[in-house]
């Protein structure tokens, strides 16, 4: 219940400028298919090309429904907004430790919160495949239903086991978030990807900020109970679930239901010189061997050293990021107990989200040689992240903790955006989705291992301050690894340049 919805959208392919054929992501075939066939049939929606030897441009209308692209985009944005308006979320730890649930600190931190990590990891890969196979909408509905169950149990479930089941359903809701961010790419034309991605991204960010600010105002000014905030969250999610039913059902998906130029052949639009009429022709559709293509794409994507480097940082840092934001409320609770003093968790979450979005916008306009200085940049800012977590842990002042948390989130969102740009530069949409899924899976696997050892009661079950000292050391280790790798790459490039200069005719 602590992971902001902003991260997957930040990593969306269109936000990173990914291009390519949205059906296959492979280069256009050079062979030109025959121009005339005896059998004629109506054209597939949106597949008619202006010339016989060029690939067709897809229509900007929703697949299968004949709706303008604005309708599904608007519905999806409304779903994302209402799904993100959760005023109770910044106060979850206080709610669980308070009289409503009456759970102990050990139960919340060492027995309940780890369940989210385990369920997210277990469900991520099946949900990834099911999302594509079922064509997004059913999984979007599953997400809404999972979140409704989560908040209903937050209101009425009692006891340790019931709250652990609640965390499982929230893990399901988090894993199915991929359907929200990939649905729109099966509906609209590739030329609209950047626009609709910005809309969907903005909807979730605005929703999360509205929820955080509303929660803070209702608690601090109006004096509402945390139970009432959970009622508002449940109502907002229920509205989102109702809107999801009106989303058009996509007719294709990235892997299992795509219509590729290699399996389908180009649909021809040949002009009859005598009558001026267009002759439409296309062969039968064949289903792509999706799993085999996935494996081949996986091997090709990670054969690049640059891709591997940025992906390793992505997985390692995301693991640490999830741990910090999952247990930050627990740290704040230990620094300043919320039962006796006023807390401002909602304001801090809203501020970090807003400033992080500004940082993401700014870095998108910075021109830098990331291929040369990227690893050193990762090392430097990873060290700053480690310093922020260390200060959050050792300076037992709530204002310092809040400020360090805001800095932590801003730096992470900035770096993950740079990593996204670098990874997505030469990848097609579905290859980007594959890399995103694999990197996230590795991050969750590492987080699960870290949770089992450090947090879980069956492992070391360390207190919250010791945990954050380990997280600070974790980011410091990441910084050292990439500092060494970056220095090695720079020295290697410098020596290569010297060798080229010494072997040039001018130097002889």
Encode 319-384 in three state secondary structure: HHHHHHHHHHHHHHHHHCCCCCCCCCHHHHHHHHHHHHHHHHHHHCCCCCCHHHHHHHHHHHHHHH
Other Cβ atoms closer than 10 A to 176: 25
Residue with tokens 């842990």: 393
Q: Taking Cα atoms as reference points, which of 323, 340, 458 lies closest to residue 393?
A: 323
388's tokens: 């922020």
For the domain spanning 6-22+60-252+294-497, the CATH number is 1.20.1250.20
Angle made by CA atoms 172, 175, 179, in degrees to the nearest 5: 115
Cα separation, 264 vs 262, whole angstroms: 6
Measure Cα distances from 154 to 92, 101, 119, 164, 169 in Å: 9, 9, 17, 11, 11
Phi/psi-derived region of residue 399, left when phi > 0, alpha when psi is between -120 and 50, beta in every other case: alpha
Q: Taking Cα atoms as reference points, which of 359, 100, 97 lies closest to residue 229?
A: 100
Residues 201, 63: contact at Cβ < 8 Å? Answer: no
Angle between helices 305-335 and 398-424 (to 10 degrees): 160
pLDDT in tens, the chain (508 residues): 555 444 444 444 444 444 433 333 333 333 333 333 334 334 433 333 333 344 444 444 444 343 477 888 899 999 999 999 999 999 999 999 999 999 999 999 999 999 999 999 999 889 988 888 888 899 999 999 999 999 999 999 999 999 999 999 999 999 998 888 788 777 777 777 767 777 887 888 889 999 999 999 999 999 999 999 999 999 999 999 999 999 998 877 666 766 544 443 333 333 333 333 333 333 334 444 666 776 777 777 777 777 888 889 999 999 999 999 999 999 999 999 887 788 899 999 999 989 988 887 787 667 777 777 778 889 999 999 999 999 999 998 999 999 999 999 999 988 888 887 777 666 665 566 677 778 888 999 999 999 999 999 888 989 999 999 999 999 999 999 999 888 887 887 788 777 777 776 555 5
Helix (H) or strand (E) holding 279: strand 278-281
């Amino acid at each position: 219940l602590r992971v902001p919805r902003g991260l997957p959208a930040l990593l969306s392919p269109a936000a990173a400028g990914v291009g390519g054929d949205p059906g296959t992501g492979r280069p256009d075939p050079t062979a030109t298919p025959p121009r005339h066939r005896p059998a004629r049939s109506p054209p597939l929606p949106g597949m008619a090309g202006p010339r016989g030897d060029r690939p067709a441009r897809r229509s900007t209308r929703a697949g299968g429904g004949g709706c303008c692209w604005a309708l599904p985009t608007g519905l999806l944005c409304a779903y994302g907004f209402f799904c993100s308006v959760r005023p109770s979320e910044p106060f979850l730890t206080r709610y669980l430790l308070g009289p409503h649930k009456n759970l102990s600190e050990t139960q919340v931190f060492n027995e309940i919160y780890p369940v989210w990590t385990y369920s997210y990891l277990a469900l991520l890969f099946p949900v990834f495949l099911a999302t594509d196979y079922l064509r997004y909408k059913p999984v979007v509905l599953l997400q809404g239903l999972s979140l409704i169950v989560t908040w209903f149990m937050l209101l009425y479930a009692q006891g340790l086991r019931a709250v652990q089941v609640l965390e499982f359903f929230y893990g399901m809701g988090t894993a199915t978030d991929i359907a929200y961010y990939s649905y729109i790419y099966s509906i609209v034309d590739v030329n609209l990807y950047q626009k609709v991605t910005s809309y969907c991204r903005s909807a979730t960010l605005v929703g999360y900020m509205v929820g955080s600010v509303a929660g803070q105002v209702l608690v601090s000014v109006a004096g509402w109970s945390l139970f009432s905030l959970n009622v508002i969250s449940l109502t907002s999610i229920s509205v989102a679930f109702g809107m999801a039913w009106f989303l058009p059902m996509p007719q294709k998906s990235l892997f299992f239901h795509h219509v590729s130029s290699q399996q389908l052949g180009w649909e021809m639009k040949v002009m009859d010189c005598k009558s001026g009429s267009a002759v439409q022709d296309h062969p039968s559709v064949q289903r792509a061997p999706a799993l085999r293509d996935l494996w081949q794409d996986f091997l090709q994507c990670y054969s690049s050293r640059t891709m591997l480097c940025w992906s390793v940082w992505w997985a390692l840092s995301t693991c640490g990021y999830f741990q910090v934001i999952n247990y930050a409320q627990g740290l704040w609770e230990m620094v300043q107990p919320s039962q006796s003093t006023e807390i401002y968790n909602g304001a801090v979450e809203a501020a970090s989200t807003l400033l992080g979005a500004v940082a993401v916008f700014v870095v998108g306009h910075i021109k830098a040689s990331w291929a040369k200085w990227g690893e050193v940049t990762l090392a430097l800012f990873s060290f700053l992240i480690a310093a922020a977590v260390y200060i959050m842990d050792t300076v037992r002042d709530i204002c310092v903790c809040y400020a360090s948390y805001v800095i932590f989130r801003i730096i992470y969102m900035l770096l993950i955006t740079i990593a996204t740009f670098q990874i997505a530069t030469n990848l097609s949409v579905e290859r980007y989705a594959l890399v995103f899924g694999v990197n996230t899976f590795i991050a969750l696997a590492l987080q699960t291992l870290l949770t089992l050892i450090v947090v879980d009661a069956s492992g070391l079950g360390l207190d919250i301050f010791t945990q954050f000292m380990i997280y600070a050391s974790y980011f410091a280790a990441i910084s050292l690894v990439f500092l060494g790798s970056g220095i090695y790459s720079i020295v290697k490039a410098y020596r290569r340049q010297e060798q080229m200069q010494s072997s040039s005719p001018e130097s002889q």
